[in-house]
Every structure is written in structure tokens, then in C-alpha cells.
Amino acid sequence: AVGVAPAYAWTADPLVLGALAAAAIAYAAGRRRLRRRGRPDLAGLPQAAAFAGGLLLIGLALLSPLDELGEGYLLTAHMIQHLALGDLAPLLLVVGLMGPLALFMVPRPALRAAGRSPRARAALGGLTRPVTALAIWVVVTAGWHVPAAYELALAHRWAHDLEHATMLAAGLLVWVVILGAAPRTAMSPGRRAAFALAVFAAGMAVSLWLFLSAPLYDVYAEQPVRLLGLSPETDQMRAALVMSAEQMLTLLTAAALLLWTHVERMAEVRAPG
């Protein structure tokens, strides 16, 4: 039956607020260091706005009523939360960190220590390799939608936090590759377009599975309060459609722009003279 859900409220999780504040402070410090070195062009306002937008999306996903809606009432709400954490926020954060700015956010002692460590450099380079980034994204995205893992995340706070952290990390890796934000492992625009299409195909497989399956998650199927009058079947189908639409908007747009760049470069190479 259609019911009225309890009143929702914003939360003030100190861990989330602390992490967001720390990221904002580190970003501001990095911009200041770059400007002191006479390179304000590498730390412009558009980048800062993108980074701030990414942090804002994370805050909205984790602290707004969307979190409670997704945990107990609507899979569609939980999907919106996951897409914000695993795709939209990472995209904005990587745009905000393009160039050397990310290095200037790290305290100098830590940066020097990492630079002297071959293992640290190898680990970072390995994570940003396309095959590795794609594999991590697929395992995280598909794995957390397996019913047993999904229900575990809803039943235990530590698992839910791990779910969100891994989705954010996987999204960051994918967008680092697509945007070529790691110069040492950056590919040509054409190859990055192919990578974006591969990620999109994997996402479509997950959304198609959700769209065609019977209700997968007991927490929604057994919920006596049916928000918006949505049945579990309709809710799951809408969640799948939301996932498809969002990834079309981001991943397909990125692939199209990269292919356009690739074609233009090929035309320049082949142009006479």
C-alpha cells in the first residue's frame, strides 16, 4: 500500500564532514602554492569550481535525506546516490585536479617520501593503467549490486562506508584514464574514447541485469511503505534506467568528444604541407 515515509533530515556525520573539510583545505593550499610560484593559470577558478562541485555532490549524497531514502525505501534513490559518488563527483574532482595541482596538495615530506619509493610510484602507475582501472570499476560496480553484497552494505555501517569509498575510488581511477590526468599512463584520445565506451558497456550490462531481473533486494521488496506508489519491480526498473541515462550523459559524451579530437588530429597529420 502507498504510505507516508517518516520525516527525513540532514545528517552531520563528523567523518564525512571532516574528510570534505580536509580535502577543501588541501585544495586551497595547493592553489596557493601554485600561485606563489607564478602559475595562477594552473589553478584557475573553473578548476576550483569543479572541485568544489565534486565535494558538494559527495556531501549531498552522504548527508542529505537521499541517504535514508536509498537505505530503506527506494532503490532508485540509492542508485542516484551511487551515481553521484561513483561517477559525477569523481568526474568533477578529476577536472578540478588536472595538471600539477594534485601534487601541490600533498605535504612536501609525504611527496618526497613517495617520490623516493619505487614501490609507491609503481603502485600508482599500476592503478592508473586502463586495464587495471577498468577491472576495478567493473568489480566494484557489479560486485556491490550482487544481492548478498548489497544487503550486507545496508545491514552494516562499515560495509556501507566501504561500498561508498570503493565506488568513489573506482570512479576517480576511471576518470583519470578518460581525461588523461595521469600523463605517464595517458593514452591517445582515440584509445581513451574506446576506454570510455568499454566502461559504458560494462555499466549497461549491470543496468540491463537490474532492468530484466525480478526484484533483487529484500529490503525494498519487503518495505510496507511504498513511496510514490512504486512497486519493487517498477522501482528497480527505474533505477536501471537512471543508471543508463546518467552514463549516456557522461561516458558517451566523453567518448564522443575524444573521438572528435582524435579525428581532428588525424586530419591534421594527413593534411598536405
Averaged pLDDT for residues 46-56: 91
Angle at 217 between CA 211 and CA 218, to 5 degrees: 140
Greatest Cα pair distance in the chain: 73
Name the residue with cell 618526497.
112
Q: What is the DSSP letter of 128?
A: T
| Residue matched to cell numbers 563527483 | 89
Over 80: is that where the pLDDT of 12 sits? yes
How far is residue 74 from each of residues 67, 267, 269, measured CA to CA in Å?
10, 49, 52
- Give the side-chain half-sphere CA count within 13 A for 258: 23
CA distance 47 to 35: 14
Query: Would you call 96 exposed, middle or buried from its count of C-beta atoms within 10 A (0-12, 13-18, 19+)?
Result: buried
pLDDT tens digits for range 158-200: 999 999 999 999 999 999 999 988 766 678 888 999 999 999 9
Complete DSSP assignment for 179-238: TT-SGGG---HHHHHHHHHHHHHHHHHHHHHHHHSSP--HHHHT-S--GGG--HHHHHHH
Q: Residue 241: which pLDDT band, with cuts at 50, 70 and 90? A: very high
With contact defined as beta carbons under 8 Å apart, do 173 and 93 qualify?
Answer: no
Cα–Cα distance for residue pair 65/51, rounded to 1 Å: 23
Four-residue CA torsion sign, 145, 212, 81, 167:
positive
Task: Report yes or no: 98 and 124 within 8 Å, Cβ to Cβ.
Answer: no
Query: Which residues touch 136 (CB under 8 Å, ≥6 apart)?
Result: 127, 169, 170, 173
pLDDT of 100-130, one tens digit each?
666 656 655 444 444 455 665 566 667 778 8
pLDDT confidence of residue 4: 44
